[in-house]
Structures are given as C-alpha cells and as structure tokens.
Amino acid sequence: MRVAARIAELPPYLFARIDELKAEARAKGADLIELGIGDPDLPTPAHVVAALEKAARDPRHHQYPSYVGMEAFRRAAAAFYGRRFGVSLDAAREVVALIGSKEGIAHFPMAVVDPGDLVLVPDPGYPVYETWTRFVGGEVHKMPLRRDRGFLPDLAAIPTDVARRARVLWINYPNNPTAALATEAFYGDVVAFARAHDIIVASDLAYSEIYFGEPPRSFLETPGAMDVGIEFHSLSKTYNMTGWRVGWAAGNAMLVGALGKVKTHTDSGCFEAIQLAGVAALEGPQDVVADLRATYRARRDVLCGGLREVGFDIVEPKAAFYTLVACPAGLSSLDFTARLLAEAHVVATPATGFGAAGEGFVRLTLCAPEVRLVEAVRRMAKVAAAFR
C-alpha cells in the first residue's frame, strides 16, 4: 500500500514541530498566548447569524445548491465590487461562488495549469498557491518578497526564459504574511507584464477590508486587469466568518467560467443558507466592518508600539491583521519561534512557513484581546532583554 507521489513529495510540515512544542508547554501547565493563527477571535455580526437561522429553517434551501452560486449571492458580490472598487461585473458570467476563497484558490490551477506549465508564486506566500500547482503537475518559480522593496516582487528580475514559460502569476495584497500593500503603479506593471508574456494573473484579496489608512485597491481596478485576471475574495476576515466557508472569485469571464466548470465536477456548491447569510453581510450595515477595523487598529498600536518600545524590530502592518517581527541576531525564524514559546509562552509563526524568503522573521497576529497583547509584550520583553 502507498500514497500518491504528490502527497509523498509534499515538503515537511514545518508547523508539526511547533505543535509538539505547544503540546509540551500545555502539558506543563503553561498559559499560552496564541498569536500564531490568523483566525478572528470576534463573533460573526448578529444580523448575519440571524439571516442564516432564517434561511436554514426554509426547506427550499435543504437541497443541492447551484454549482456556481445563487444569483442573489453573485449579484451581492458584484454590487460590492461596484461600490467598493468601482469595478463593474456581470454577476452571471464574471462571478462564481466558492466554499471559502481557499477552495477556489486550490481548484484554480486545475482549470488553467497543465503538467509542465510554470507558475510564479510569491515567497513568502500562502502555501496553497504552490501546493496545488504541484498537485496538477505544474512547476513553481518563487518570487522573493523583500523588505527593502515593500514586499513587492521584482518583475524585472524574473528571467526571460521563466517569464516566457509562465502560465500564472499569483499576487496577494494586502499580503499574508507581510501585511504589505500593493501600489497602483505595481498593479499597472503586473498588467503590462501579463500582457507581454501571455500570463494569467490570480489575485488573492481576502484582507481588503482590514486596513489602517488608505483603503487597499483591487487588482481588477487596474486598466486591462479584466483581460488577464481573476480575483479571489472572502467573507472570512471582513465579517469574522472563517468557519462559515463562503467566498467568491470574480474577473475575466473565461477564467471564472473555467473555475466554475472545475467546481461542477468537484463539489456541489455552498449551502444556500450560508450564501444568504453572505448576502446579509454584504448588503447589511457596514458599521460592523468599521468597528472591526477600529478594534484591529487599537490592537496593532498596543502590540507594535509595545514591541518597538522593548527593542524589537517590527514591520508595522498597513493592512490585514499580521505583523512581522525581525529575529534577534543569530536566531533563525524557527529558533526564535521556539524561544518565544519556551520562554514567553507566546505562540508565533515562523515566516519560513510561507517560504524560504521569510527567513529572519516571525509572524504575529492581532487576533487576541488587547489585554492578552499587553501581556504578550510584557513576556516578550524578557526575551528581547537577553539579546541586548
């Protein structure tokens, strides 16, 4: 008996060792402050829950849903793009509902990547971009994201032969794990690069509504983007709905249609009651989102301000709910993660979990109450003191 080669060839799971260390610490009675997982700790808005309750009681929604999503949900997603980004979308042809954006991101390579095709992925970046490229037989070229470039890939540094072979370019801003933002000029360069080399652009926009200054742009706002791109969005972070698993993809009709065709052969769509809850989220009062941003801003100021004050070098987030902390001299990302866990009982994520170019940083989230962030800073100050 054996597993498929694609499973056997997966890289080692970096977080397995961290999970072991967490279990050991908890077994000793440690009070761990969990800042490693990007999962909102606040509840889903009450009116969204109420919409789910009402729809779930209606037997019309107990049967198979549409593969590509309810018309009401796709229209709500298209309307959101119109209001927020000024992007006009045909809900019938240019929007497809997803069982969370991760599902769509994973399935998209099945629609556009053939064995031997090359895909450009950010490093560090969301691991699913690379994993599913390899699952379908594609090859990966890593684009390093460097601090001195604002964590934007250097498209001009991509070798000509690589660009010529490239099939898909993945981008993700606001970015996980760096919390960086893309500029209008960068998106313009992406469109020009895609056109020059006949490349599909896949944009992951899951964090667009968590920001602390100028609202992030959609790639689809860029002139020409609809000709070359598709964008993945989610209700998970905006409305604290990570466990609900609902999102959408929007953009070029051919690309959206190809993804929809994959889904017809793969799943049976998202539960309609959850889609209608998504409609309530998108069309309902948006003060809940403004309040959420204010909460994360206050938490950011507590965590980042505190860590800077005790001597850490941090990358303060412009958006999303992550911050990168530079490792003290002589420590790798994994070493620093282990030290924080053992000595401060603070759970961080080594940025190398998102790619080799993440070396030198750990990622912390803002998904914890302020009082716990204050305590995390107090504990981490002792670690910082050891390196002064």
* Domains in the chain: boundaries: 5-43+287-385, 46-283
Write the CB contacts of 176 (distance below 8 Å, at least 6 apart in sequence).
Answer: 38, 125, 126, 206, 207, 320, 322, 354
pLDDT at 1: 87
pLDDT at 262: 95
Place of tokens 């107990």: 62
- Burial string for 256-286 (b: 16+ CB within 10 Å, else e) reads bebbbebbeeeeebbbbbbbbbbbbbbebeb
What are 160-163's contacts with CB under 8 Å, separation 24+?
162/118, 162/120, 163/193, 163/196, 163/197, 163/199
For the segment 304-315, the average pLDDT, to the nearest whole number, is 96
Percent of the chain with pLDDT over 70: 98
pLDDT level of residue 322 (50, 70, 90 thresholds): very high
As a whole number of angstroms, the longest Cα–Cα distance in the chain is 64
Average pLDDT of the residues of the chain? 94
pLDDT at 377: 97
Selection from 255, 249, 278 nearest residue 91 by Cα: 249
pLDDT at 27: 86
Residue 11, pLDDT > 90, answer no
- What superfamily does domain 5-43+287-385 belong to in CATH? Aspartate Aminotransferase, domain 1 (3.90.1150.10)
At 205, which amino acid appears? L
Residue 387, pLDDT > 80, answer no
Task: Give per-residue pLDDT as tens, 260-296.
Answer: 999 999 998 999 999 999 999 999 999 999 999 999 9
Residue 16, pLDDT > 70, answer no
pLDDT at 10: 74
Q: Pairing mode, if any, of strands 247-251 and 229-234?
A: antiparallel
pLDDT level of residue 26 (50, 70, 90 thresholds): confident
For the segment 64-85, the average pLDDT, to the nearest whole number, is 95
Cα separation values, 218 from 153, 156, 199, Å = 17, 22, 18
For the segment 350-374, the average pLDDT, to the nearest whole number, is 96
Task: Give per-residue pLDDT as tens, 44-60.
Answer: 999 999 999 999 999 99
pLDDT at 385: 82
Q: In this structure, what DSSP letter does residue 310 have? A: T
Residue 12, pLDDT > 80, answer no
Residue 326, pLDDT > 80, answer yes
Task: Give per-residue pLDDT as tens, 199-241.
Answer: 999 999 999 999 999 999 999 999 999 999 999 999 999 999 9
Residue 257, pLDDT > 80, answer yes
306 vs 380: CA distance, rounded Å: 10
172 within 8 A of 122, measured Cβ to Cβ: yes
pLDDT level of residue 13 (50, 70, 90 thresholds): low
Domains 5-43+287-385 and 46-283 share a fold: no
Rg value, the chain, Cα: 21
65 within 8 A of 271, measured Cβ to Cβ: yes
pLDDT at 18: 73
CATH code for 46-283?
3.40.640.10
306 within 8 A of 333, measured Cβ to Cβ: no
Residue 8, pLDDT > 90, answer no
pLDDT level of residue 118 (50, 70, 90 thresholds): very high
pLDDT level of residue 21 (50, 70, 90 thresholds): confident
pTM: 0.93
pLDDT level of residue 346 (50, 70, 90 thresholds): very high
pLDDT at 15: 65
pLDDT at 7: 79
